[in-house]
Amino acid sequence: MTGATQTVREIGEFGLISALADALPAGVTAGPGLELGIGDDCAVWRPAAGERIVVTTDSLVQGIHFRLDWTDWEQLGHKTLAVNLSDLASMGAVPRFAVVTLALRGDERVEDLRALYRGLGALAERTGTLVAGGDIVRSPEALAFHVTAVGETRGARVIPRSGARPGDVIGVSGTIGASAAGLALLLDPGSPAAGTATADLLREAHLRPEPRIALGGILLEQGASAGMDLSDGLFGDLPKILAASRVSARVDAARLPVAAAVRALFPDRWLGMATRGGEDYELLFTAPPDRWGAVSMAADKAGVPVTAIGEIVEARNGRPDLLMVREDGTEERVAAGAFDHFR
């Protein structure tokens, strides 16, 4: 065990690697299929016969994706892995392993990074994800954590973005807008809303998202035609499905699953939070209308309800449009909008 105040610079790169490996649950550093893991130049993975490999990568950068005065290190470790597993879930893939790169200044406490790995490791253990290695580098400015996660197909199939067809139902899991509401509360800790009984739940939604891995498998098995996870907001991500599938969509604002706490605390902002807020990490998908009942029933049984929020329609003149029916029944074309790192 390292001292509570020992820093990365004091323990060194190789001492840190050993300390972080020790912080992981034993079951996530070795397992079936992982022939070589932590300790070699590369991990060696043996996929199941006939399956395909699904790969995703994400980065969290201090000041852009997280602030250490908002989150604790275990929450941060959880989120670092969760955002990657959410991508795998959206395609119906089974998580298999991940590699993690830490970009550090050197003055971080080793015990904080062990807590990071405990949070990451707990989610890895719960989702059957092995941690196969990674890298540690020096960063002269902000901290950054980079994860590449590898999954396997189920029966060599995935849910692409390009499969939506006119008539398909548009569905979303859980609720949307809670993460954006939690971020607003973190940004304004002195507001009356920040001290309410439900504020902690909204902050938790932003700091500790839950990847919908089981639901991804359900959507695949029940015939979802297209899907992705909601990282950039409904009106940022749905247009990506529309462009890939060459279709348009009509979304009913009255049917959006927005938590009562979000509506109550942000009566003038909840619609924007739900449609453009981002980082919900719920699953957005389409399904043929004759499959919707089976999808909904299976999702309810798994404890992750889904809501039909609209339908796919034909694109006019080959241009995918996003239409919204407001609560008063009026219809308008809405502009696609998503978080952009460079705008």
* CATH fold for the domain made of 8-152: 60s Ribosomal Protein L30; Chain: A; (3.30.1330)
Per-residue tokens: 65? 């994706």
pLDDT of residue 342: 53
Higher pLDDT, 318 or 248: 248
Q: Looking at the predicted structure, is the pLDDT value of residue 291 above 90?
A: yes
Asked if 147 contacts 103 with a C-beta cutoff of 8 angstroms, the reply is no
How much of the chain exceeds pLDDT 90, in percent?
A: 91
Per-residue tokens: 220? 């695949």
Q: Provide long-range contacts, Cβ within 8 A and 24+ apart, for 162-165.
A: 162/226, 162/244, 162/245, 163/225, 163/226, 163/245, 163/286, 164/225, 164/226, 164/241, 164/242, 164/245, 164/247, 164/286, 164/312, 165/225, 165/245, 165/247, 165/286, 165/288, 165/312
Model pTM score: 0.94
pLDDT of residue 55: 98
Q: Give the residue-averaged pLDDT of 218-223.
A: 97
| Alpha carbon distance 265, 188 (integer Å) | 13
How much of the chain exceeds pLDDT 70, in percent?
A: 97
| Alpha carbon distance 176, 235 (integer Å) | 12
- Domain 169-333 is found in CATH 3.40.630.30: no
Q: Looking at the predicted structure, is the pLDDT value of residue 2 above 70?
A: no
In this prediction, residue 1 has a pLDDT band, given cuts at 50, 70 and 90, of very low
Question: Given its phi and psi angles, is residue 143 left (phi above 0), alpha (psi -120 to 50 degrees) or beta?
Answer: beta
**Least trusted range by pLDDT, from 70-79, 83-92, 203-212, 313-322:** 313-322
pLDDT digits (tens, 9 = 90+) for 94-135: 999 999 999 999 999 999 999 999 999 999 999 999 999 999
**Least trusted range by pLDDT, from 30-34, 165-169, 181-185, 204-208:** 30-34
Q: Give the residue-averaged pLDDT of 54-62.
A: 97
**CATH topology of 8-152 equal to that of 169-333?**
no
Q: Give the residue-averaged pLDDT of 64-77.
A: 95
Strands 169-173 and 53-61: unpaired
| Alpha carbon distance 34, 45 (integer Å) | 5
Amino acid at 86: S
Asked if 99 contacts 1 with a C-beta cutoff of 8 angstroms, the reply is no
Asked if 134 contacts 102 with a C-beta cutoff of 8 angstroms, the reply is yes
pLDDT of residue 232: 93
What is the chain's mean pLDDT, rounded? 94
Q: Looking at the predicted structure, is the pLDDT value of residue 340 above 70?
A: no
| Alpha carbon distance 91, 183 (integer Å) | 27
Q: Report the first-to-last Cα separation within the chain, whole angstroms.
A: 44
Q: Give the residue-averaged pLDDT of 243-251.
A: 97
Q: Give the residue-averaged pLDDT of 83-98.
A: 98
Q: Looking at the predicted structure, is the pLDDT value of residue 229 above 60?
A: yes
Indicate the domain borders of the chain: 8-152, 169-333
The residues, any chain, with a CB within 8 Å of residue 209's CB and separated by 6 or more, are 79, 82, 83, 86, 179, 279, 280, 281
